[in-house]
Copies of this chain bind each other. A is one copy, B any other.
Amino acid sequence: MAQEPLRTDYAGELAADRIGDTVRLAGWVAKRRDHGGVVFVDLRDVKGIVQVVIDPTEIPAAHELRMEYCVSLVGEVRPRMEGTENPDMPTGAVEVGVTEITVLSASDPLPFMIDDRADADELIRLEYRYLDFRRAPMAAALRARGAAVHAMRSAMADGGFLEVETPTLIASTPEGARDMLVPSRLRQGEFYALPQSPQLFKQLLMVGGVDRYYQIARCYRDEDFRSDRQLEFTQLDIEGSFWTAADVQSTIETAIAAAVKAVRGLDVSLPFGRLTYSDALDRFGSDKPDLRFGMEIIDVSSVFAVTEFKGFGGALDAGGVVRGINGGSLGLSRGGLDGLVADAQALGAKGLAWLVVEDDGTWRSPIAKFLSEAELDGLLAGFDAKPGDTVLLVADTAKLAGAVLGSLRLQLGRPEGHEELAFTWVTDFPVFDINEDGSLAPAHHPFTQPVSLEDMVERPETAIAQAYDLVLNGSELGSGSVRIHDPEVQAKVFEVLGISDEEAQSRFGWFIRALRYGTPPHAGFAVGVDRLLAILLERESIRDVIPFPKTQRGIDPMTSSPTRVTDVQLRELGVDLRPEVKAKLAKEAAED
C-alpha cells in the first residue's frame, strides 16, 4: 500500500526557514506569467500561495500550464531575487525552483475568475460552487464557519452539555410556518415532516432527565422565500433543566463569545446588555434594536400636554403619543426632508414633522409657527438639539410612532457593514400576539411559560412571557424561553388560545402526555448559525456563509434541484401529481 506522498509541504506555509529544502507541493495554478525565458506560477493550496519558477527549456510542460490546472511539483525552496520579495505574502521571501512537474488534472476555461472580487453573478457562482470555494472570500467563509461551529460545540461540551441527535423524520404538527413533508413508502398515504426545530424533542430529553442538551441542528422551514431565508438552516439548539432564564442566557453568551473569538479573534464583553421588549419598542421602535448607534426615540408628549397645535393635540387626545428622534446633522435639502415624510407615510404615518435647529438656536420647520415658545424650548431640551440637528416627530398611536421612527432611525443612523458588534438581550416578550381579527396567537410558541398565570388568563393581551431574544446589530440571532412544565398550565394556554382539548390532543397529545410524568422545570434557546456567521463575516447574504445554499426561489443552480422524478418513484410512494400540475409540466416540456 505504501505510495509516494503527493505532497511533503503546503505551498502556503513555505518560509525562509525552509530555504535549501527540496519539497513536493500540490495545488492549483492561480497565476501564470511567461517572462521570456522563465515561467512564474503562483501555486495555490489550502494554506495559501507560493511563487514557483519553471525553466521551460528544462521542463517544456511549463508552457502548457493553464489557469486552475491541478499540479504536483518537486522543487527547491530558495530566496527570491533581491528586490522581488513580496512582503504582502506570507511566503513572499521565497520561491520554489521547480525540477519536476506533473499535471494531475487539466481545467477547462473558467466561467469566472478565481480572485477576491465577488463581481461574478451570484447565480453563476452557485452553479459552479466548487470553483467559488477556490476564491479567497468563500474559502475564508467555510473556514470561519467550521471554526465558529467547532468553538461553540467546545464551549457547550466544556459546560457539561450532552450532544443528542434528535430525529429529522418526525410527525407533522401544522402551525406557524409550513412543514416540509416526506411521503412514506412503507405506509402509503402517510407522511413524515422535516423538523422546523428540535423543540418538542429537546423538551422530551428534559423529561427524560438529560439535564443539559445541545445540538447543532439542521432545521427546515417551508416559507415563501423572503428576507434572505433558506429552506434548510442550522441552529445551535440548547435546553436545560432546573435552571433559570439567566442561566440559559449566560450559557449562550459563552457559546457566542467563543464563536466571535474564533471568527474575529476578539473577546466580546460579557454579559450582554438587557432591554425589555417594551423598552426596546419605546426607545428603538423595534424588538430587535440596532444598538450600534443612539438616535433613541424620545417621547415628548408631555411638552405638548396643552398644545394649540391640532396635529399633535388630536393624537394625544386620542390616547396617542408625540415621539421623535434627533437625526443629528443630516444636512438634508427640502427635497430630502420631503422624502423622509414620504417614507413615513409609506410606513403608515399620517405625517412626519421635521424641525432643523438654525445656527442661532431657533427652529426652522413648517410647523414652528404653530408651536409656542415653551414647546419649541421643550423640544430643544428634550432632544438635546444642537445647531444643525434635524428632529423628526410623529404624532400617532405609540405602536405606529414606534414603527415609523424605528424605521427612520435605521435609515438615518445604521452603519454599513458589521465591523462593530452590538449584542443585546430583549426580554419579557408578550405571551400572545394579537391577530388582525382580534384572536390570539402564541408570540413565541405555545409551550412558553407565562410570568403570571393569573395575568395570562385575566389579561392575555398584555401578559408577559418568560421569553427572550438575542439581538446582534439589529438582527434577531435567536430566541428562547422558560417552558411550561405543568400540564395544567399548558392546558390553560391552549384554553386561552381557543384550542379545544380535542384539538390539543390531536395535535400535541403525545407531547402533553409526556408532561404528566414528573417533568422538570426547563428552559432553552436556539441561535441561528447562518445569520450569526453572515454578520461576523460581514456578508450581505446568509447564502455567502452556507456551503451549498439554494436561491431565494429554493433552487440549487448547480444540481438543478428540485427536479422531476419518475412515475415509478411516485407510484412507490403512493402519490401522484395533481392533474393541473401534470398539465403545467407537460406544457413546459412542450415549450422546451
Contacts and interface: CB of A to CB of B under 8 A. Distances in A.
A507 to B, nearest CB: 11
B209 A171 contact: no
Interface string A495-516: 0000000000000001000111
Given A104-B485, A191-B562, A564-B190, A171 B556 contact: yes
Interface in A140-172: 142-143, 145-146, 149-150, 153, 157, 162-172
A245 interface: yes
Nearest to A68: B518
Interface in A540-568: 546-550, 553-556, 558-566
A282 interface: no
A366 interface: no
A565 B242 contact: no
B517 A131 contact: yes
Contacts of A2: 246
A350 to B, nearest CB: 38
A318 interface: no
Interface string A125-150: 00011111110001100110110011
A105 B486 contact: yes
Given A188-B581, A562-B190, A562-B192, A245 B1 contact: yes
Interface in A240-263: 241-246
A520 B105 CA distance: 7
A108 B218 contact: no
Interface stretch (A93-101, A383-391, A571-579): A571-579
A492 to B, nearest CB: 16
Contacts of A28: 209, 518
A590 to B, nearest CB: 14
A356 interface: no
A510 B190 contact: no
A303 B360 CA distance: 118
A169 B546 CA distance: 13
A3 interface: yes
| Copies per complex of this chain | 2
Contacts of A145: 164-165
B142 A210 contact: yes
A74 interface: no
Nearest to A553: B186
A106 interface: yes
Interface stretch (A32-40, A200-208, A285-293): A200-208
Contacts of A70: 518-520
Given A149-B163, A571-B578, A211 B46 contact: yes
Among A129, A165, A562, max chain B CB count under 10 A is at: A562
A521 B104 contact: yes
Interface in A429-472: none
Interface stretch (A56-64, A173-181, A322-330): A173-181
Given A44-B209, A162-B142, A208-B129, A569 B179 contact: yes
Given A146-B164, A171-B560, 16 more contacts: A3-B244, A45-B211, A46-B211, A133-B209, A143-B162, A150-B153, A166-B547, A169-B220, A169-B550, A171-B556, A182-B562, A183-B183, A184-B562, A191-B562, A192-B562, A205-B547
Give 5 closest A-B pairs by Cβ, nearest first.
A133-B208, A46-B211, A171-B561, A190-B562, A107-B518
